Structure 1
Amino acid sequence: MDARWNEGSTDAWKLWEEIMPLGYKGSYQRVRAYLREKRTSPRPVPARPPSPRAVAGWILRHPDTLDESEQLQLKAVRMHCPELDALTCHVRSFAVMLTERQGKRLPDWLDAVITDLTLPWGSGVVEGHVNRIKMLKRQMFGRAGFPLLRKRVLMP
């Protein structure tokens, strides 16, 4: 019954009808009481993911300046996102390159960044739509309100 509850089935009558042919000898009221208890019991609150600003701060700071909890959180983020892991490695190698004045390594570093962080998709289509909407808005010179802009955007 717990598996069905986790799947989203919360109707006591339907659950009782499902488990009766499987050999359940209890009453409908017992199933209903069990589900009422599950509904009212406190559910574990999942931990909130760190904010993008916090993650960026952890990546950009020197690893020695991070406290233990920040290091653990950054490690968890890096384990869940290979792109952020690659980014962290590249940022840290760039910092070493700057502090040790190793400018001759810059072309190789740029090639590695392009190889690791260039994704197969882009936002060109969306940017094209946004550009078109801005152009339509500029053409109207603020003379008309949102209803006309909406019509011009939706009509080809």
Structure 2
Amino acid sequence: MSININSPIPKKNRRQRSRTVDPFIPYLLRRWNEGCQNGSILFIEIQKQGFRGQATMVRNFLHPFRKNLLNLEKDGSQSVSIAFEMPSSQTIAYWILKKPEDRKEEHEKIIEQIKSVLPKLDLTITQARAFAAMIRQQHTDELDSWIKAVEQSSYQIWKNFGMEPKKEAAGV
């Protein structure tokens, strides 16, 4: 039996399997278009709705949207969004800790968008900026009041951070 290399290869009819993420696609698309494009957050949200898959399934589903920088509607139509690549956390930290007079408006807008999605970061950013200003201006007399403020914070990381100067002062 000879095979003609010019003839098309017959395709097997394969049944399209539904993915675990399929029932949650309308929700994921709606949240994506609302601006929540963080796969981890979306994974947690659909887990609460009964999703039994893994976070990688959500990331794999979202990957083409990030790659193409498109917003997809429920009906499958595409609307191009402004091309925007999320800066690294290191870059965002740099923007947060800059002197107020050196901050750029576009960076502040991105920080505000992040705070609107993750409101807990608002207090963290405020405390970080206060600490940076205190150190930059060498206002060591403000350290005790800053430590008291972070100790009253609900964030353990700030409580731990605030304890370090006390330990150093006590010689621990």
Indicate the TM-score class for this superposition, using the shorter chain for normalisation: 0.3 to 0.5
Higher helix share: 1
Answer with 1 or 2: which has the greater Rg.
1
What TM-score does the superposition give when structure 1 sets the normalisation length? Answer: 0.43
What TM-score does the superposition give when structure 2 sets the normalisation length? Answer: 0.39
